[in-house]
Amino acid sequence: MNEVTVLQNFQLILQSDRLPLHVTEVMNNLELAESDLRQSINKLHTNIQLSAQEQLNFSQKFSQQMEDSILSITQILNNICEKQALTNSQLNNQLLQQEMNHQKEIKLLSEKLDVSDAKNASRDVEIKSLQMQNQILFKSLKEIDVEIKSLQMYQKERDVEIKSLQNRLDVSDALNASRDVEIKSLFKQLAEREDSKQLQQREYSKQLQHQINILEEDARERRSAAILCQNIKNLN
């Protein structure tokens, strides 16, 4: 493998994506060294017609330059490899640290998930209890609705009964008013005939008093019935 092949291989290595970014400066220095070598080669071709001694001297000088360049390139390659190894070690350490951090995070999330699962289980029990209470409450509401409907039916029946009693009370009041008028008329007739019909009036007064007693008794019964109806209405 000659020097030109070494330079070409080294240039291919420098162009590889596997090198880190910190070798850019080294690449520039190597390109300058390669340019110097090419200038020396061109100078060698230009002076190919020189004397044998001059060619020998130039060849020795060129060989020394090539040897120095190769040593320099070898040193640079060693430095690059060392830096690359250091970079790989740093990357491995970073990846290891990231993996440890990920494991810690996964453990923390797992613990939080366990706590969340426990809370969810407790909430499920609470939800089931609330559902049972809701069912019991719904059943109670249905029973209350049935009872309310029964009370409403009873209230309607009582309203009909009260209305009937009120109608009867109105009729009784009308009869009482009519009888009061009749009684007043009878008393008036009695007063007008009192002078001329003393004997007849006594008998008639007895009969009339008897009728009055009957009417008053009937009126008292009707008033009692009216009071009873009013009390029933007030209770409702």
Q: How far apart are CA 191 and CA 205, in angstroms?
A: 11
Whether 233 and 170 have beta carbons less than 8 Å apart is answered as no
Closest to 19 in 3D by CA, of 103, 96, 76? 76
List per-block mean pLDDT (blocks of 10 residues) for the chain, which spans 236 residues: 50 51 60 69 63 63 72 73 68 79 82 80 82 82 83 85 84 81 79 67 74 79 76 71
Length of the chain: 236
Question: What's the predicted TM-score (pTM) here?
Answer: 0.30
pLDDT of residue 25: 63
pLDDT tens, residue by residue, 80-97: 767 766 666 776 777 788
Which residues touch 40 (CB under 8 Å, ≥6 apart)? 62, 65
pLDDT recorded at residue 2: 46
Give the tens place of pLDDT for each residue, 127-159: 888 888 878 888 878 888 888 888 888 888 888
Read off the tokens for 84: 């690359």
CA-to-CA distance for 26 and 82, rounded, in angstroms? Answer: 13
Task: Dump the DSSP string for 18-61.
Answer: TS-GGGHHHHHHHHHHHHHHHHHHHHHHHTTTS-HHHHHHHHHH
| Per-domain residue ranges of the chain | 151-235
Distances (CA, A) of 83 to 75, 88, 90, 191: 12, 8, 10, 150
Residue closest to 79 by CA, chosen among 16, 34, 35, 20: 20
